[in-house]
Amino acid sequence: MASPLLELRNITKRFPGVLANDSVSLKLNKGEIVALLGENGAGKSTLMNVVYGLLSPDGGEVFVDGEPVELKSPRQAIDLGIGMVHQHFMLIEPLTVTENIVLGNEPTTAGVIDIRKARADVVEISERYGLAVDPDAKIIDLPVGAQQRVEILKALYRGARILILDEPTAVLTPQEVKELFGVVRQLVTEGLAVVLITHKLEEVMASSDRVVVMRDGKVVGETKPSDTDMSGLARMMVGREVVFRIEKKPTVCGDTVLNVRNLKVLDDRHLEAVKGMTFDICAGEIVAIAGVSGNGQTQLIEALTGLRKVEEGTISFLGNDITHSSARQTIDAGVSHVPEDRHRRGLVLEFDLAENMILGDHRKPPFTKRGIMDPQAIAQITEERVEEYDVRSPSIRIAAANLSGGNQQKLVLAREVGRNPELLVAAQPTRGLDVGAIEFVHSRILAERDSGKGVLLVSLELEEVQSLADRILVVFEGRIVKEFAAGQASDEELGYFMTGGGGTKLTENSDTEGGESNDA
Amino acid sequence: MLSDIITPDLFAAAVRIATPLALAAIGGTICERSGIVNIALEGMMLVGAFAGVVGALATGSAWFGVLCAILAGALLALIHAFASINLRTDQVVSGTAINILALGLTGFFMEVIYGHPGTTDSAPRLMPVFNISGPTEGVLGTIWTWINGVFLSFTPIVYIAIFIAIFGQWALFHTRWGLRLRALGEHPRAADTVGISVVRGRYSAVLMSGALGGLAGANLTLEQVGSFTEDMTNGRGFIALAANIFGRWTPGGSYLASLLFGFADALQIKLQLFRDVIKIPSQFFLMLPYVLTVVVLAGVVGRAVAPAAVGKPYEKG
């Protein structure tokens, strides 16, 4: 039998205090899609960064075509035919698609870039693999799906035979996910081999030929999708049984908590991002905003939480007008906010757990009396909440930066929910979290709803929207284009409206046949 | 009176004054495009100015002085590169330290080499490139005076600066070097993942900015003044930084912005000659270039977008 395209033997990689890869071995053959499945922190990305020459291993060997190779830099990996699409795209926003694709391998004569040849090459491979992109567009103007195609083209342009996709579907709509897997399937029939790094079980089941499961830096099992099912995979990945379906009691809709009327908000470029949204949230209800990233969700949340100026319209909360309230007034009124970017907005990473726990309440008793902080009261409440929210940390005196993503998010949740708000605004509360942590966050959000609080959930994950929401508002280009009650819409229907299928006007009929987009 | 102010002289002075600003500003452009803030241009210019005089006085060759100036600027930049790329120091702190260091170094070596503080002896200077005599009379004479004054009256580094601005503008957007430089300042990790060495790219950019800063200094001492005086750069490095921003991080834009500052300065010098007629205290004219800097930096000219990764140390892995 021919030697595998790529083989890893006993790869070991240590970081200070962590064994990220513990003697990991893996084989990849020509023409197959191997899913590398594991929770966050299981060591999947570390392993692939070793293969791509971004990290050097502390032990073990890499073979390409049966030959031992040493990978000291991405350059060497590229030369061996290894390409990687990173979870956070490695694209340079102000540059064009063509410039991004050829960067590092530019066709030049005496140092001058032959831009016409570069463009022709890009058009050629983009047509050959059916990956449509505009070679002259700037990255900043492209939707994420197109950006991902650029990333794949980048690897193909460099002659990749082995393609590593790191969490490729995190930012895609269901339709884009389908398209992506179609493209990947075509690539392997042309003789490439693909490694798909993921923590999403459905993707593994739907698209891979073979699954390698990692946990705590080790390979804990290998199987074929046909030989297992989702719960089997989940058990291997987490090491215990996982509950998928969330048990949800029917809503008991109480008084109106939030009332938003004809809200208009500008973005940083002074363009209208929220173009007149109207909706209500009542006590004991989870309302989810579903939409592709960049359709006004960020600006909507910022307006609701006092972080961004409202241009037009009103926001009233429990009957009080908070349209022009500051963030501080909004918090004091009883609105809590789990921000979409926990690093930038949710936490001060350099602060310890206790300091992070009181942010926003730091000037109120019992944390502060007459302007002086009370360290004992702060420590006591932090300990209680860390316990209650299962934030795993050796001490409340270590910096939040040292926690894993899941524990950081639990810390944010502990602060925001612990404040006992009347409305919880949760933006992408499970972004980048693994199954175990997602389960926990979801159960806390449901608990808020069951205790009669209003919840506004903004999520790009349809699965999350579908399983948590009592009501789903689909947004497209700053407008609410469709409303569904829980369980009324399929993922495909949601995806259809999320991508503008229903036009930009709110239609009353619930069928999926949208009219022409008439942007009045 | 207007015809006494608007003379070929005024425009020639504007170009001369703009030259050191433009060279340093283009240095700043290259450096910041690679992702490294360089507020040490002032110090690099000062050290270049001094080294230029030392080299020229020691050998009697002004061109040897220019070489010394370029090397000295690059050498100082090496410290900045090491501090900000290898040690990942805060680049503003490193730049400030280098500015202070430059002031101390030049003062110290002044004493060591020449035995006194203040100003050096006159060094050999670079002379104007062209010396063509044309008609002096009539309309032709006037036209010739303008052409000669505004375009043909300059010393070599003035023309070198114009060349660097035009060539640099082209190179930034049409060569491999330019594309990679822009990539480094926007998203160094992306550059790294396609096999471009961030360390090497940034080092060469910082060294280039140092060399350009040194050349700017050489222009000051070996073409304009003819000797070195302590702290003679007098904030030009910072005005150059403003010119770089005003020029939107492009070599051509940096040159044009410097020209605007140069013109403001030339105009204020000219206006001082007329203080008996205009009756505005000359201090107001002196303020002109600095007020312009503040206005530009305050963003009146519209917001310029800096390279996304500028000022952020890059850590591999």
Binary contact (A74, B195; C-beta < 8 A): yes
What does the block give as tokens for A401?
A: 């930066």
Residues A234, A258 contacting (CB under 8 angstroms): no
Counted domains in chain B = 1
Show residues of chain A in contact with B182, CB under 8 Å: 92, 94-95
Q: Give the one of A93, A104, A113 whose C-beta lies nearest to B195's C-beta.
A: A104
Binary contact (A73, B182; C-beta < 8 A): no
Residue of B nearest to A116 (CA): B174
pLDDT at position A407: 85
C-alpha angle B225-B26-B24 in degrees, rounded to nearest 5: 30
DSSP chain B: -HHHHSSHHHHHHHHHHHHHHHHHHHHHHHHHHTT---TTHHHHHHHHHHHHHHHHHHHS-HHHHHHHHHHHHHHHHHHHHIIIIIS---HHHHHHHHHHHHHHHHHHHIIIIISSSSBPPPPP-PPPS-------SHHHHHHHHHHHHHHSS--HHHHHHHHHHHHHHHHHHHBHHHHHHHHHHH-HHHHHHTT--HHHHHHHHHHHHHHHHHHHHHIIIIIIISS-BTTTTTTHHHHHHHHHHHTTT-HHHHHHHHHHHHHHHHHHHHHHTTHHHH-S-HHHHHHHHHHHHHHHHTTTT-PPPPPTTTTPPP---
pLDDT band at B304 (very low <50, low <70, confident <90, very high): low
Distance separating alpha carbons of residues B133 and B75, to the nearest angstrom: 42
Distance separating alpha carbons of residues B147 and A487, to the nearest angstrom: 80
Show residues of chain B in contact with A103, CB under 8 Å: 179-180, 183, 190-191, 194, 196
DSSP A402-435: GS-HHHHHHHHHHHHHHT--SEEEEESTTTT--H
Distance separating alpha carbons of residues A407 and A413, to the nearest angstrom: 10
Q: Of chain B residues 255-314, which have a CB less than 8 A from chain A?
A: 305, 308
Find residue A260's DSSP bridge partners: A279, A315
> What's the whole-number average pLDDT of chain B?
92
Same fold for the pair A6-238 and A243-334+421-520: yes
State the best of A103, A114, A115 to mutate against chain B, taking most chain B CBs within 10 Å.
A103
pLDDT at position A243: 63
pLDDT band at B317 (very low <50, low <70, confident <90, very high): low
In a domain, B314, yes or no: no
Report the share of chain B in percent with pLDDT over 90. 71
Show residues of chain B in contact with A55, CB under 8 Å: 317
Binary contact (A95, B189; C-beta < 8 A): no
State the best of B176, B177, B248, B314 to mutate against chain A, taking most chain A CBs within 10 Å.
B176
> Distance from A139 to chain B by nearest Cα, in Å?
12
Q: Answer whether residue B32 shows pLDDT above 90.
A: yes
Query: What is the number of residues in chain B?
Result: 317
Binary contact (B183, A49; C-beta < 8 A): no
What mean pLDDT comes out for the span B185-199? 93
pLDDT at position A514: 38
Residue of A nearest to B185 (CA): A92
Residues B38, B31 contacting (CB under 8 angstroms): yes
Binary contact (A103, B317; C-beta < 8 A): no
Q: Give the one of B186, B194, B317 whose C-beta lies nearest to A104's C-beta.
A: B194
Asked if A159 reaches chain B (Cβ–Cβ under 8 Å), the answer is: no
Digit-coded pLDDT (tens) for B20-30: 999 999 999 99
> Tokens 């992306």 correspond to what residue?
B190
Asked if A72 reaches chain B (Cβ–Cβ under 8 Å), the answer is: no
Asked if A54 reaches chain B (Cβ–Cβ under 8 Å), the answer is: yes
Asked if A78 reaches chain B (Cβ–Cβ under 8 Å), the answer is: yes
What does the block give as tokens for A471?
A: 């009501």
Asked if B200 reaches chain A (Cβ–Cβ under 8 Å), the answer is: no
Asked if B9 reaches chain A (Cβ–Cβ under 8 Å), the answer is: no
Give me the phi and psi of A162, to 5 degrees please: -120, 120
Among A145-154, A394-403, B192-201, B216-225, the range scoring the smallest mean pLDDT is: A394-403
Mark out the alpha helices in A52-200 (DSSP H runs). 74-79, 97-102, 115-128, 144-157, 174-189
> Distance from B193 to chain A by nearest Cα, in Å?
6
Distance separating alpha carbons of residues B283 and B268, to the nearest angstrom: 9
Q: Which residue type occupies B82?
A: F
Binary contact (B192, A54; C-beta < 8 A): yes
Q: Which CATH number fits domain A6-238: 3.20.20.80, 1.10.1040.10, 3.30.70.2190, 3.40.50.300?
A: 3.40.50.300
Asked if B179 reaches chain A (Cβ–Cβ under 8 Å), the answer is: yes
The H or E element containing residue A297 is helix A297-304
* Torsion A258-A261-A267-A273 (CA) sign: positive
In a domain, B317, yes or no: no
Show residues of chain B in contact with A105, CB under 8 Å: 194
Distance from CA of residue B303 to its chain's centroid?
23
Binary contact (B193, A90; C-beta < 8 A): yes
DSSP A313-377: EEEEETTEE-TT--HHHHHHHTEEEE-S-IIIII--TTSBHHHHHTTTTTTSTTTEETTEE-HHH
Binary contact (B182, A113; C-beta < 8 A): no
Q: Give the one of A86, A108, A115 whose C-beta lies nearest to B193's C-beta.
A: A86
What does the block give as tokens for A430?
A: 């499970």
What mean pLDDT comes out for the span B272-287? 80
Contacts of A436 (CB under 8 A, 6+ apart): A39, A238, A242, A406
Query: What is the number of residues in chain A?
Result: 520
The structural domains of chain A, with segments of one domain joined by +, span: 6-238, 243-334+421-520, 349-419
Q: What is the DSSP letter of A489?
A: S
In a domain, B107, yes or no: yes
Which candidate, A419, A424, A468, A423, places its Cα nearest to that of A442? A468
Asked if A74 reaches chain B (Cβ–Cβ under 8 Å), the answer is: yes
Using DSSP, state whether A517 is helix, strand or coil. coil
Which candidate, A18, A17, A20, A9, places its Cα nearest to that of A217? A20
In a domain, B36, yes or no: yes
Q: Which residue type occupies A12?
A: T
Residues B236, B42 contacting (CB under 8 angstroms): yes
What does the block give as tokens for A80?
A: 């061996």
Distance separating alpha carbons of residues A138 and A150, to the nearest angstrom: 11
Distance separating alpha carbons of residues A53 and A72, to the nearest angstrom: 5
Q: How far is CA A272 from CA A300, A311, A460, B123, B195, in A?
A: 11, 9, 21, 62, 40
A419: left (phi over 0), alpha (psi -120 to 50) or beta: alpha
* Torsion B131-B132-B133-B139 (CA) sign: negative
Q: Give the one of A91, A106, A108 whose C-beta lies nearest to B190's C-beta.
A: A91
Show residues of chain A in contact with B180, CB under 8 Å: 103-104
In a domain, B136, yes or no: yes
Binary contact (A112, B317; C-beta < 8 A): no
Q: What is the DSSP letter of A43?
A: S
Residue of B nearest to A106 (CA): B176
Distance separating alpha carbons of residues A1 and A264, to the nearest angstrom: 64
DSSP B123-172: PP-PPPS-------SHHHHHHHHHHHHHHSS--HHHHHHHHHHHHHHHHH
- Give residue B133's domain range: 2-300
pLDDT at position A324: 93
Binary contact (B191, A78; C-beta < 8 A): no
Distance separating alpha carbons of residues B192 and B202, to the nearest angstrom: 12
Mean pLDDT split into 10-residue runs, chain A, 520 residues: 85 83 92 88 86 90 92 90 90 94 93 94 92 92 87 94 89 82 91 89 87 90 88 80 70 88 89 93 94 88 94 93 93 92 86 91 88 91 91 86 84 92 92 79 91 92 88 93 89 85 53 38
Residue of B nearest to A45 (CA): B317
Residues A226, A210 contacting (CB under 8 angstroms): no
pLDDT band at B68 (very low <50, low <70, confident <90, very high): very high
What does the block give as tokens for A256?
A: 């109106």
Binary contact (A104, B189; C-beta < 8 A): no
Distance separating alpha carbons of residues A166 and A196, to the nearest angstrom: 6
Residues A414, A442 contacting (CB under 8 angstroms): no
In a domain, B37, yes or no: yes
Residue of B nearest to A91 (CA): B190
In a domain, B316, yes or no: no
Binary contact (A86, B195; C-beta < 8 A): no
Q: Give the one of A74, A105, A113 whose C-beta lies nearest to B192's C-beta.
A: A74
Q: What's the distance, Cα to Cα, between the start and end of chain B in Å?
A: 66
pLDDT at position A516: 39
Strand A218-223 versus strand A210-215 pairing type? antiparallel
CATH number assigned to the domain covering A243-334+421-520: 3.40.50.300
Among A144-153, A256-265, B157-166, B269-278, the range scoring the smallest mean pLDDT is: B269-278
Residues A207, A196 contacting (CB under 8 angstroms): yes
> Distance from A421 to chain B by nearest Cα, in Å?
37
In a domain, B176, yes or no: yes
Mark out the alpha helices in A29-68 (DSSP H runs). 44-51
Binary contact (A103, B194; C-beta < 8 A): yes
Q: Answer whether residue B292 shows pLDDT above 50.
A: yes
Strand A33-38 versus strand A210-215 pairing type? parallel
Asked if A329 reaches chain B (Cβ–Cβ under 8 Å), the answer is: no
Show residues of chain A in contact with B194, CB under 8 Å: 74, 78, 90, 103-105, 154, 158
Q: Answer whether residue B250 shows pLDDT above 90.
A: yes
Show residues of chain A in contact with B190, CB under 8 Å: 90-92, 103
**Half-sphere exposure of A144 toward its Cβ, with a 13 Å CA cutoff?**
22
